[in-house]
Structure 1
Amino acid sequence: MIEVRGLTIRYGGTLAVDDLTFTVKPGSVTGFLGPNGAGKSSTMRAVLGLETPDAGEALVNGRPYTDLRRPLRTMGALLDAAAVHGGRTARAHLGWLARSNGIGAGRVAQVLEQAGLAGVADRRIGGFSLGMKQRLGIAAALLGDPAVLMFDEPLNGLDPEGIRWLRGLLRSLADEGRTVLLSSHLMNEMALTADHVVVIGRGRLIADAAMHALAAHFRGDVLVRTPRPDQLAGVLRAHGAAVVREDDGGLSVRDLDAAEIGELALAAGIALAELSPRGASLEEAFLRLTGDSTEHRSGGR
């Protein structure tokens, strides 16, 4: 497991992580979410011993990462795909990592193949695209066949095929009983991949819940289609509903459930062609949870 207990990190007068506590358990993909500046990267760096906390601790299988004798065999991580020596080849880069942890050369060939890099294994990394560097970083994380894995924004730079490959890889790792922590700003992909989510804002824990429970916590809307949308919208607004006309002519209705809408339409003699409740998406849930924690907000028109 990954355990974060009362973690507090300050940079000068800035409190980056504020008494943060959560646990990442095996057998599932845990999404680590938060706005820019929320403290996600600082937390992940602390897990790897790259940040010294002002208070609290971050443990891997009950121990600080820096106490692990051959850490790649316990935990694999990718924090920055660009943090590689451009003059080395992909094979040489993985080779020295393997030797540092007592891992054989045969495993290097296996992860190069697994990451789709076997054909470019002897090319210098400086000529790699960002997507190829991401694949190389993922290969490095897999090198020691660890039970715990952590990835910070691994989808950046991947093409659609690469995103689909990584999604399948993460799911298969979790299905094998491994612990997987994934940070990403791509909410649609996170919704497809993660089983559980940890949401932070301004360094503090906002939510720690199963994916389905998080979206269900926030009421969605009801899609309504009718030959008389303007009349129905007036009736619904008169009863406290928020109604928005969608581009295709449908009505998005909030603050009334489907049964209430149907009863009001029947009483007004308005026929309905569709009445479909829609749950809140992960993106909507995330925005509602973190609305007060976003440092940089775009202005509306």
Structure 2
Amino acid sequence: MIEVRGLSMRYGRTLAVDDLTCTVKPGLVTGFLGPNGAGKSTTMRAVLGLEVPSSGEALVDGRPYASLRRPLRTMGALLNAGAVHGGRSARDHIGCLARSNGIGRARVTAVLDQAGLTDVAGKRIGGFSLGMKQRLGIAAALLGDPAVLMFDEPLNGLDPEGIRWLRGLLRSLAAEGRTVLLSSHLMNEMAFTADHVIVIGRGRLIADTGMNALAGHFEGDVLVRTRHPEQLTAIMRGHGATVVAEDDGARAVALSVHGLDAAEIGALALSAGIALVELSPRAASLEEAFMRLTEDSTEFRSESGSTQKEAVR
């Protein structure tokens, strides 16, 4: 397991991680979520012993990572795909890591093949795209066949095939009973991949729960499409509903409705003689749940535009 116990990280007046306690368990893909500046990368660096905690501790299988004699055999990690020597070939880079941990050449060949880099193994890393560097970093994390794996934004730069490959890889690793921690800002992909989520904001724990349970804490809405949005909106608001228009370019205006269920909306439309093009209940998405959980913890916020969603007048 990865265990974080009362971890705090302070840099001058900035408290990057604030008394964080959580456990990443085996057999699951755990998503590590939070806004920019939430302390995710700092926490991961502390797990690897790259940062010294102001207080608390971060352990891998009950021990500090720095105390492991052959660390790659216990835990593999990818924090920064660009942190490689551009003049080395992919094979030499993985080979150096293997020698430092007493790992044979056959394993070097195996992980390069697993990451889809066999054809470019002899080429210099400096000429690699970001996606290829991500694959190389993933190969390095897998090198020691470790029971614990940790990845910080590994999806950045991957093409659709690469994303699909990594999703399957992470789920297969967890199915083998390994501990997998994954940080990403791609909420839709995280919803497909993670079984459990740890959410932090301003360095503090906000949620530590199963993926399904997270979205289940929040009410969904009902998507309604009609060619008579003003009339239907007035009726639904008269019955206590909150209605927001979604401009998706379709001929029939899409309405997001809270406070009435699909059956109630259908009955109101029928009694008013209003034809509906669509009437679909929607559960809260991971993105929506994340935004609601972290709305008070976002340090860098863009100005909200009026073109994406606006109330029907």
TM-score (norm 1): 0.96
Match of 2:160 in 1: 160
Match of 2:192 in 1: 192
Match of 2:107 in 1: 107
In structure 1, C-alpha distance between the alignment counterparts of 2:254 and 2:34, rounded to whole Å: 32
1:58 aligns with 2:62: no
Q: Shift in Å at residue 245 of structure 1?
A: 2.9
Q: Shift in Å at residue 222 of structure 1?
A: 0.3
CA deviations on 1:82-136 (whole Å, 9 max, x unpaired) are 1011111111111111111111010000000000111111111111111111111
Match of 2:303 in 1: 299
Structure 1's 225 and 300: CA in aligned 2 closer, same or farther, altered over 3 A? Answer: closer
Q: Shift in Å at residue 269 of structure 1?
A: 5.0
Match of 1:6 in 2: 6
CA deviations on 1:65-89 (whole Å, 9 max, x unpaired) are 1111111001000000110111111
1:279 aligns with 2:283: yes
Report the AA paired with residue 287 of structure 2: E
- RMSD, aligned CA: 1.4
Structure 1 residue ranges without an equivalent (≥5): none
Q: Shift in Å at residue 225 of structure 1?
A: 3.4
In structure 2, C-alpha distance between the alignment counterparts of 1:266 and 1:130, rounded to whole Å: 54
Q: Shift in Å at residue 227 of structure 1?
A: 5.5
Instruction: Choose from 260, 264, 280 the match for 2:264.
Output: 260
Please state whether the residue corresponding to 1:250 is helix, strand or coil: strand
Report the AA paired with residue 6 of structure 2: G
1:203 aligns with 2:203: yes
Report the AA paired with residue 7 of structure 2: L
Match of 2:311 in 1: none
Structure 2 residue ranges without an equivalent (≥5): 306-313
In structure 2, C-alpha distance between the alignment counterparts of 1:229 and 1:241, rounded to whole Å: 14
CA deviations on 1:212-268 (whole Å, 9 max, x unpaired) are 111111111101234543222111111221212333323211122224324444554
In structure 1, C-alpha distance between the alignment counterparts of 2:279 and 2:156, rounded to whole Å: 38
1:150 aligns with 2:154: no
Match of 1:48 in 2: 48
In structure 2, C-alpha distance between the alignment counterparts of 1:83 and 1:272, rounded to whole Å: 55
Which residues of 2 match residues 106-125 of structure 1 at below 5 A? 106-125=106-125
In structure 2, C-alpha distance between the alignment counterparts of 1:30 and 1:226, rounded to whole Å: 40
Report the AA paired with residue 295 of structure 2: G
- How many residues end up aligned between the 2 structures? 301
In structure 1, C-alpha distance between the alignment counterparts of 2:217 and 2:270, rounded to whole Å: 29
TM-score (norm 2): 0.92
CA deviations on 1:14-71 (whole Å, 9 max, x unpaired) are 0000000111111111000001100000000000011110111111111111111111
In structure 1, C-alpha distance between the alignment counterparts of 2:185 and 2:224, rounded to whole Å: 31
Report the AA paired with residue 235 of structure 2: V
In structure 1, C-alpha distance between the alignment counterparts of 2:304 and 2:39, rounded to whole Å: 26
Report the AA paired with residue 19 of structure 2: D
